[in-house]
Chain A
Amino acid sequence: MSAALLGIVTALGDDELVVGHRHSEWTGFAPHIEEDVAFSSIAQDEIGHASAYYALAAKLTDDGADRLALGRDKDEYRHAILCERPNGDWAFTLARHWLYDHADALRLEAMEETSEAELRGIVAKIRREERYHLLHADIWMQRIAHGPVEGRRNLMDAVGRAFDDALGLFEPFEHEAEAVAEGILPVGSDGLRKRFLDQTSAELDRLGFPTHMISTADTEFVASSSGDLLVEEEAGDAVEHQGGLGGRSGRHSDDWSPLWDDMTKTYRENPGARW
């Protein structure tokens, strides 16, 4: 059993499960009925991806996928803090969805070359669905970014608040050096982080959003290259900046405990039940 492989598969599964669970909280509450269906569907996809990762992790450890998903203690989860943040409003949800799926697309692209055949198989399947997620996030971002100023400002502010947390997706995995040496992880987290910064800053620039927020998310916004002068709004109150790090070693934010409680409650009531 490779501890390095297990570390990666667990972190990826946890990211997908937790972000998928947050997405699913919109079911019944999304801005309109068609989006409700579309976003719920994306939530289901993410949980399906988590299930594929957990199945592999369960095989490696002779455990059960359901127990891995819902039967672990709080500090055993390795998802990035970004994933556990409350949905807040649609702007924050969209900003998180956009940042998460761009990051996910980059790491999956790199992982297609992994030396682990089973992981490669999972990644190939997941990538097909992730194309839609990315398109969904991009289309929504474009529509709001080019729409009325109020929505545009809300979204810009939300991207600023989510950005630091998003970098937590590139915090090194457990045993990462070993994973890179063995070819399990063809591109290390630091390399992926650079690609992510390049890609998102180019995209934000194209959307006419300030890219200054990328280096330090809480400094004032500056004029974008499109010439749009963007004034900083009052500081958002929903999400604090904690640098977004710690998730990969099980050090989560205060948002995690109530979410874990909610997510795992049914399972913990009767751990032996078969579903």
Chain B
Amino acid sequence: MDTYEVFRRTGHKEPFTHCGAVTASDPGMALLLAKECFLRRREGEHLWVARRSDVHSFGDESLLQIGTDKTYRYPEGYRDVVAKRERARARAAEVAAS
């Protein structure tokens, strides 16, 4: 028996999202069981199962941590850019006039 991760989606334009897992002997059996465990109240219209051992991840999760300042990777890092530009233009005008 293997563990199968179960994914479902609510509409054909929606992404599949993980909803749980079943224990089953093979993919056909996993689908059969997943239908009744995770789609019995019209929670979705499509179902995927994938053997957990076919899902790969980093062995060392600390690899995913970010140490230094990465605010430039976020929109928030650019929130005051308009004001900064205005001030720069004003300074440039002052320099040109003097």
Complex partner residue of B40 from A32, A33, A41, A139, CB under 8 angstroms: A41
Could you say which of A35, A136, A143 contacts B26, with CB atoms under 8 Å apart?
A: A143
* Apart from A32-B23, A37-B37, A143-B25: 13 A-B pairs, beta carbons within 8 A: A34-B24, A34-B36, A34-B37, A35-B33, A37-B33, A37-B40, A38-B33, A38-B35, A41-B40, A139-B28, A139-B32, A143-B26, A143-B29
Q: B24 — which chain A residues lie within 8 A by C-beta?
A: 34
Once bound together, how far apart are the Cα atoms of A24 and B25, in whole Å? 24
Nearest Cβ distance between residue A42 and chain B, in whole angstroms? 8
B25 touches A38 (CB 8 A): no
B27 CB → nearest A CB, Å: 11
Cβ contacts B6-35/A at 8 Å (1 or 0 each) = 000000000000000011111011001111
Min CB gap B43→A, angstroms:
14
User: Within 8 Å CB of B32, what residues of A?
Assistant: 38, 135-136, 139
Query: How distant is B18 from chain A, measured CB to nearest CB, in Å?
Result: 16
Per DSSP, chain A at the interface is: helix
**A residues in contact with B25, CB < 8 Å:** 143
Rank and list the top 9 A-B pairs by shortest CB-CB distance, nearest first.
Answer: A38-B36, A34-B33, A41-B36, A34-B22, A37-B37, A37-B36, A139-B32, A38-B33, A34-B37
Separation in Å of the B46 CB from the closest CB of chain A?
15
Most chain B CB within 10 A, of A34, A41, A143, is at A34
> Most chain-A Cβ atoms within 10 A of its Cβ — which of B25, B32, B37?
B32
Complex Cα gap A159–B35 (Å): 27
Q: How far is the CA of A19 from the CA of B34 in the complex (A)?
A: 23
Q: Which residues of A contact B28 (CB under 8 A)?
A: 139
Chain B residues within CB distance 8 Å of chain A: 22-26, 28-29, 32-37, 40
Interface size class of A (residues with CB under 8 A): 10 to 19
| A40 to chain B: closest residue by CB | B36
27 examples of A-B residue contacts, CB within 8 angstroms: A33-B23, A34-B22, A34-B23, A34-B24, A34-B33, A34-B34, A34-B36, A34-B37, A35-B33, A37-B33, A37-B36, A37-B37, A37-B40, A38-B32, A38-B33, A38-B36, A38-B37, A41-B36, A41-B40, A132-B35, A135-B32, A136-B32, A139-B28, A139-B29, A139-B32, A143-B25, A143-B26
Query: What residues on A are CB-neighbors of B29 within 8 Å?
Result: 139, 143
List of A residues within 8 angstroms of B35 by Cβ: 38, 132
Instruction: Give the residues from 138 to 152 in chain A that come closer than 8 angstroms, CB to CB, to chain B.
Output: 139, 143
**Residues of B contacting A33 in the complex (Cβ-Cβ under 8 angstroms):** 23
Residues of B near A34 (CB, < 8 A) are 22-24, 33-34, 36-37
Within 8 A of B (CB), among A117-173: 132, 135-136, 139, 143
B75 to chain A, nearest CB (A): 43
Interchain CA distance A81-B28 in the complex, whole Å: 32
| CB 8 Å contact bits of A233-261 with B (1 = contact, 0 = none) | 00000000000000000000000000000
Q: Which residues of B have CB within 8 Å of A135?
A: 32
CA distance A136 to B28 in the complex (A): 10
Q: Whose C-beta in chain B lies nearest to the C-beta of A34? A: B33
**Considering only CB atoms, which chain B residue lies closest to A41 in the complex?**
B36
